[in-house]
Structure 1
Amino acid sequence: MDFADWFLTQDERDNPATRLGAWTTGNLVRPLIHGATYFAELKTCLDSVRAHDLVLFADWRGDPDERLADGGPQISEALSGAAARGALVNGLIWRSHLDALRFSAEENRHLGEKIEAAGGQAVLDTRVRPGGAHHQKFVVIRRRDDPDHDVTFVGGVDLCHSRRDDAAHHGDPQAAPMPDVYGDSPPWHDVQVAIHGPAVAEVETVFRERWEDPAPETRQPFRRLRDHLERMDDVPALPPPGPAPGPAGTHAVQLLRTYPYRRRPYPFAPRGERSVARAYQKVLRRARSLVYLEDQYLWSTEVIEPFAEALEREEELRMIIVVPRHPDQDGWLAGPASLIGRSEALRRLKQAGGDRVAVYDLENHAGTPVYVHAKVCVVDDVWASVGSDNVNLRSWTYDSELSCAVVDEEPDPRPPAGGRRFARELRLTLAAEHLDRDPDDVDDLCDPKAAFEALAESARRLDAWHRDGRRGPRPPGRLRPHPAPELGRVRKLLAMPLYRVAVDPDGRPSDMRRSRRF
């Protein structure tokens, strides 16, 4: 296999300032479906960290009291415990917007304070564009005496409330604020990956580039004073990086990122970086049979255009999309602002692909909507991506993001030929859950057309059961056809400025924005 057919080359990344390589081979990547699965494995890894090991993490939201398992520990206890045992624990935590806006300014600060009190180091990082965020969510664990067990976790799961849900989707007992339609314990669908092998060192490089940025973490005098008084403004140098871990598997991994263009540029991305967007554009030009997408937002017609062009080019190409039924904001203007982009994006995809485009949302067995927070894409069962980025302009241009793209050297032996084991098994694992099937009973879904029809039939049966007043046994499955968003003309007009400025802003340099390049 020529990985350059599927991955960006170094030139195609269009960021010569980064220290990242184009891609690495010899990795082992394991999908961790659901926050509970990820948190259990993270707990085991942190429990085993010893003196002089290295723990690095980046987080969008961090709730210090979030439990990694039913009996604990809390995330702050697990990280602080590692620091107390002599590990070097360093965190890059976004300096969030205010709690009153359903963000996490105080929680993020408290997590950093607890880590600092135990001897670790935490930075509240607001080196973003106005209104932007550091949205990367990853953990790196390097072991001084046991490099074969170095690991990194990359994906969409924050170290915070609501994320510790499992396949039953009863929700995390520690819930983050969400619209009432999701209930007291919002069901939450999410995906992370655990990576062993040379790519661990590459994720460490992502952290080091941000940590070593000489710009102050904030330019606001009051915040800088508070950081100084609380001793959170020191950024000690990290020890020199060790050698990359040795080969662990058959997976080639490419790290994809977004950094915005800033007038005070990042030294590791002076014009920003949009390799997430560029990777999607490249891989979608190769799409022939099936694009499977799980996404929290799916906003912006400009971002959705490469998907639409692929559907128009390939008459046999199908697209399956899984999104949340309701947005995570429900205000009179915030709700419509969240739906404007999705309404236009779905209209464009349907125009391009017609009945070859299927859009679903999820519910648990009690009928409560499941909030889809996952960011997963599988193309032709060859290329798979799991990360922090959503399909919108904000994630492709404005916020910092990190995604892991995987191409397996090992072919999948099941027909149709051409699939690779990692990508196909990831898609089938997700489909098995959504269909209430045994994960070992999904071989018939290898064929893209069969999978497309199986999901459609399951959603039709469940929707008919709801329309019939839920009489009789509930059909298996969790998929519901996603209704087209309905927006009144007045509310849409009033919400449009909020959508353009705050919900889905554009972080490209002006020349790229004008030419619609990424």
Structure 2
Amino acid sequence: MTAGDLLLFTDWRGDPDERVGEGPLTIVELLANAARRGVVVKGLFWRSHLDRIHYSEEENRSLADGIRAAGGEVLLDQRVLPLGSHHQKFVVLRHPGRPDRDVAFAGGIDMCHTRRDDAAHRGDPQTVSMGAVWGPTPAWHDLMIEVRGPAVGDIEATFRERWEDPTPLALDPVSRVEALVHRDDGHGGELPPPLPDPEPVGDHHVQVLRTFPSKLPRSPFAPSGERSIARAYAKAVPRGERLVYLEDQYVWSGEVTSCFARALARHPELRLIVVLSTYTTADTLIANASYQGSRNEALGELYAAGGDRVGVYGIENVEGTPVYVHSKVCTVDDMWMTIGSDNVNRRSWTYDSELTCAVLDEIPDEREPRVLRDDGDPARRLPRDVRLELSREHLDRAEGDDADLLDPVSAFEAFRASAARLDAWHAGGRRGPRPAGRLRAYRMTPVPRAQRLLGSLVYRIADDPDGRPLRLRGTDRF
């Protein structure tokens, strides 16, 4: 990027010393260097809860200060509900006079330690402590999507709406005092006038979906909140007839997973594959009970609706260390797909700020089976390619070794058989060669009744709160 270009970003957490490649370059140097070249650098970080309760207040402020010192501008944004966060993670690059270079990236990856991993999943050498089960360099599985064309303007509009919101950046008394002590910016400077949206390119229709809570003071761009992510899932997932593939960090909340349960009950040929984190990062008994109890409830509803047509898996690397699944991706009948920052839980669909891209590809996929639906609507190339690439990674297969993964039934059975072989190898004391594949069948951990009751209270208040208007709470409507 050169002088006059525009670089916009949002994030949940940033560590200034996080390296961005194999060399010594850090994220703060990358962004500060752009600002020194005359690039207009503007950022929105969540202010964060306090470091002493294991959040990222100081890291976010330090990265923001480093960019400001180079001439950029970063706001620490705490315009959220109590215990809420800004969870959006996206970058927008605009080039006046060179619109063919305009691009945006959106998804689940933060600018912080532990995220710089690859498909081998041996972890980022710059680590965040996550507990003994994850090992000294926790492995991390995550996704972003690269967007070009008019949708770049839609993602940029989300940044501009938040940046230009006149609501004070810090609403609670503690954050206000901290902002004064640290002399944080109270509002954003003027942004350059918006450029026209880039011209259409390619064959994909991209819909930018968001979550904003219903709150006071109201967000001027979403006075009753926005739940377009939830509404998109509620519309698309129940139409699934043969295969829904989901990767997610959590999978909580019956209100949220009900759309998957409806699809399973409505379509007796539908299979559901879920890849998730086998363990949580909770560091207290009650917090872990909250997470585990809510997941047990959600998965129980899916099993009740789909029985053995539901396959749920964790993943590990070839050394046998569990991999933390932070990706948020869903494909439905190889036609519709999403990649974004939202998790399958009530917090992401109603309470925090989120941004996700839904994609419809116009190009039918020529590989058989070409059609997975009774209405004759064909499978599309990009959603199928995404599902196959992820499946090959989890099954330890080479590129192109996926003929049996095209059909939903044989793909479902390939996942099940691979996990069964690896589980049996572990149960047998790891004797003999390790079977190919990284999948482990997920087994729900029972939570004792006393812990479950207290964990349920923590879950409702702190872990997975409801940010919908009062008229919608307690329902599965968004």
Q: Normalising TM by the smaller chain, what interval?
A: over 0.9
Distance 2:129 2:219 in 1: 33
Distance 1:429 1:219 in 2: 44
2:359 aligned residue = 406
User: Which residues in structure 2 correspond to 1:275-286 (within 5 Å)?
Assistant: 275-286=228-239
Distance 1:443 1:237 in 2: 53
User: Which residues in structure 2 correspond to 1:301-340 (within 5 Å)?
Assistant: 301-340=254-293
AA matched with 1:79: L
- Given candidates 476, 483, 489, the residue that maps to 2:449 is 489
- Given candidates 388, 397, 401, the residue that maps to 2:350 is 397
Structure 1 residue matching 2:452: 3-state secondary structure: helix
1:74 aligned residue = 26
- For each residue in 1:328-384, what CA deviation from the matched residue of structure 2 results, as whole angstroms up to 9, or x when unmatched? 113111111111110001111000000000000000011000000000000000000
2:389 aligned residue = 429
AA matched with 2:353: S
2:373 aligned residue = none
- For each residue in 1:226-246, what CA deviation from the matched residue of structure 2 results, as whole angstroms up to 9, or x when unmatched? 545535224111111111111
Displacement of 1:285 = 2.6
Distance 2:44 2:268 in 1: 45
Contact 1:361/1:480 (CA < 8 Å) preserved in 2? Answer: yes
- For each residue in 1:103-160, what CA deviation from the matched residue of structure 2 results, as whole angstroms up to 9, or x when unmatched? 1011011111111111001000010111100000000010123210111000000111
Displacement of 1:180 = 1.3
1:27 aligned residue = none
1:182 aligned residue = 134
Distance 1:220 1:457 in 2: 52
Displacement of 1:513 = 1.1
2:380 aligned residue = 420
Distance 1:231 1:286 in 2: 48
User: Which residues in structure 2 correspond to 1:3-18 (within 5 Å)?
Assistant: none
- Given candidates 315, 336, 340, the residue that maps to 1:387 is 340
2:311 aligned residue = 358
Point out the more displaced range, 394-403 or 224-233.
Answer: 224-233
- Given candidates 140, 153, 157, the residue that maps to 1:205 is 157
Identity %: 55
- Given candidates 120, 125, 128, the residue that maps to 2:72 is 120
Deviation above 6 Å: which 4+ runs of structure 1? Answer: none
2:115 aligned residue = 163
Contact 2:258/2:476 (CA < 8 Å) preserved in 1? Answer: no
Displacement of 1:223 = 4.0
Provide closer, same or farther for how the CA distance between residues 514 and 460 of structure 1 changes in structure 2, counting only shifts above 3 A.
closer
Distance 1:220 1:133 in 2: 13
- Given candidates 193, 197, 200, the residue that maps to 1:240 is 193
AA matched with 1:455: F
Displacement of 1:404 = 0.4
- For each residue in 1:262-317, what CA deviation from the matched residue of structure 2 results, as whole angstroms up to 9, or x when unmatched? 02110000000011110001002311100000000000111111110110110000
Contact 1:200/1:244 (CA < 8 Å) preserved in 2? Answer: yes
- Given candidates 27, 44, 56, the residue that maps to 2:8 is 56
- Given candidates 286, 291, 303, the residue that maps to 2:244 is 291
Distance 2:477 2:121 in 1: 39
Distance 1:392 1:432 in 2: 27
Provide closer, same or farther for how the CA distance between residues 354 and 225 of structure 1 changes in structure 2, counting only shifts above 3 A.
closer
1:506 aligned residue = 466
Distance 1:516 1:463 in 2: 36
Distance 1:371 1:270 in 2: 35
Provide closer, same or farther for how the CA distance between residues 488 and 225 of structure 1 changes in structure 2, counting only shifts above 3 A.
closer
TM-score with structure 1 setting the length: 0.89
Distance 2:97 2:68 in 1: 25
AA matched with 1:114: G
Stretches of structure 2 that go unaligned for 5 or more consecutive residues are 371-377
Residue 455 of structure 1 pairs with residue 455 of structure 2: no
Displacement of 1:436 = 0.4
Contact 1:428/1:439 (CA < 8 Å) preserved in 2? Answer: no
Residue 269 of structure 1 pairs with residue 222 of structure 2: yes
AA matched with 2:8: L
1:17 aligned residue = none
Residue 148 of structure 1 pairs with residue 108 of structure 2: no
AA matched with 1:497: L
Point out the more displaced range, 92-101 or 364-373.
Answer: 92-101
Structure 1 residue matching 2:313: 3-state secondary structure: strand
Distance 2:448 2:178 in 1: 45
Structure 2 residue matching 1:330: 3-state secondary structure: coil
Displacement of 1:221 = 5.3
Displacement of 1:220 = 4.1
Structure 2 residue matching 1:140: 3-state secondary structure: strand
Distance 1:501 1:66 in 2: 33
Structure 2 residue matching 1:285: 3-state secondary structure: helix
AA matched with 2:465: P
What is the number of residues matched between the two proteins? 470
Contact 2:129/2:136 (CA < 8 Å) preserved in 1? Answer: no
Distance 1:100 1:224 in 2: 18
Displacement of 1:497 = 1.1
Structure 2 residue matching 1:86: 3-state secondary structure: coil
Point out the more displaced range, 327-336 or 216-225.
Answer: 216-225
Displacement of 1:444 = 2.3
Provide closer, same or farther for how the CA distance between residues 250 and 355 of structure 1 changes in structure 2, counting only shifts above 3 A.
same
Distance 1:299 1:516 in 2: 13
Contact 2:312/2:442 (CA < 8 Å) preserved in 1? Answer: yes
Displacement of 1:247 = 2.2
Distance 2:303 2:175 in 1: 47
Distance 1:311 1:130 in 2: 35
1:43 aligned residue = none
Distance 1:492 1:251 in 2: 45
Structure 2 residue matching 1:216: 3-state secondary structure: coil
Distance 1:452 1:401 in 2: 30
Displacement of 1:443 = 2.7
Stretches of structure 1 that go unaligned for 5 or more consecutive residues are 1-48
- For each residue in 1:427-475, what CA deviation from the matched residue of structure 2 results, as whole angstroms up to 9, or x when unmatched? 0000000000012111321111110011111101001100110000000
